[in-house]
Chain A
Amino acid sequence: KTQVEQSPQSLVVRQGENCVLQCNYSVTPDNHLRWFKQDTGKGLVSLTVLVHENDKTSNGRYSATLDKDAKHSTLHITATLLDDTATYICVVGDRGSALGRLHFGAGTQLIVIP
C-alpha cells in the first residue's frame, strides 16, 4: 500500500504564477519529511526538510509546511520560472538514522509554460 500520496499528479502553470503541491502520508513514525526536485533525466536534489510539528521552511521561491497531526505537507513555489519544470518528490523518513527507511511519493510533474 502506498504510504506517501502526492497530488496533483501533474500540473501546468504559466511562468510567473504560483503553485501548491500536496503530500499526504501514513508513514509511522514520521521522523522528517523532505522535498526533492528531479529534473528530467537527472537525479533527485533536496529542496528542503521539515522535522517538527508545524514546521515551516523557506528556500528562495520554495516554501514548505508540515502538519504532523494531519500527516500532510505542502510545497509552495512562488513566481514560477521555466526552470522550475521538473518532478517534485515528497519523501518521509521513519527514523533519524540509516537504520530507518525513506518512503517516496510518486511525485508531482510540474510544467511551467511561457
Chain B
Amino acid sequence: DMKVTQMPRYLIKRMGENVLLECGQDMSHETMYWYRQDPGLGLQLIYISYDVDSNSEGDIPKGYRVSRKKREHFSLILDSAKTNQTSVYFCASSVFSTGAHNQAPLFGEGTRLSVL
C-alpha cells in the first residue's frame, strides 16, 4: 500500500527548543519534499531531496535543515524553533519525473507544529 507516513502528527514546543519531524515512504521514490502550509497561502517548499544525501533548498529554507540517509526516510530539523515556524508541515514523495502527468506526488497527512 503506497503511503507517506509523518511522525509525529501533532507537536507543541517552546521557542528555542529543537524540533525533529520525520517522514517515511514505502514506494522507493527518489524525490522527497518538505512543505509548510499556512492559512491563506499555498504550500511553500522548504527543501527537496533528489535521493540519499542529495538535498536542495526550496523557496523558504531559512531556519530549517534536512537529512536523508536512506531513500525511504527524510527528516526536517528546526534548530532553536521560533514562534513563526508554527505551521502545518507536509512531506511528499514522487518518482523523479514529478511533473509527469501520470505520477502525482504522494502527500503525508501533515504534522501540526505549535511553537510557544
Bound complex: CA of A42 vs CA of B9, how far in Å? Answer: 10
The answer to the question of B25 belonging to the interface, with a C-beta cut-off of 8 Å to chain A, is no
Given A101-B45, A103-B42, A106-B42, A96–B107 Cβ distance below 8 Å? no
Bound complex: CA of A105 vs CA of B41, how far in Å? Answer: 7
Contact with B along A37-49 (1 / 0, CB 8 A): 0000111111001
Q: How far is the CB of A56 from chain B (nearest CB, A)?
A: 14
Asked if A98 and B98 make an inter-chain contact with CB atoms under 8 angstroms apart, the answer reads: yes
Given A41-B110, A106-B41, A97–B97 Cβ distance below 8 Å? yes
Bound complex: CA of A64 vs CA of B90, how far in Å? Answer: 25
Given A4-B42, A44-B90, A105-B42, A98–B107 Cβ distance below 8 Å? no
> Within residues 46 to 73 of chain A, which ones have a CB less than 8 A from any CB in chain B?
46, 49-51
B contact patch SS: loop
The count of chain B contact residues (Cβ–Cβ below 8 Å) is: 28
> Within residues 65 to 116 of chain B, which ones have a CB less than 8 A from any CB in chain A?
90, 92, 94, 96-102, 104-105, 107-110
The answer to the question of A104 belonging to the interface, with a C-beta cut-off of 8 Å to chain B, is yes
Q: Which of B31, B40, B48 is A106 in contact with, Cβ under 8 Å? A: B40
Q: How far is the CB of B29 from chain A (nearest CB, A)?
A: 10
Asked if B104 and A46 make an inter-chain contact with CB atoms under 8 angstroms apart, the answer reads: yes
Q: How far is the CB of A3 from chain B (nearest CB, A)?
A: 9
Q: Which of A2, A42, A94 is B42 in contact with, Cβ under 8 Å? A: A2
The answer to the question of A89 belonging to the interface, with a C-beta cut-off of 8 Å to chain B, is yes
Q: Which of A50, A96, A107 is B100 in contact with, Cβ under 8 Å? A: A96
Q: List 9 A-B contacts (CB under 8 A).
A: A31-B99, A32-B101, A34-B104, A97-B100, A98-B50, A102-B45, A102-B99, A102-B105, A104-B43
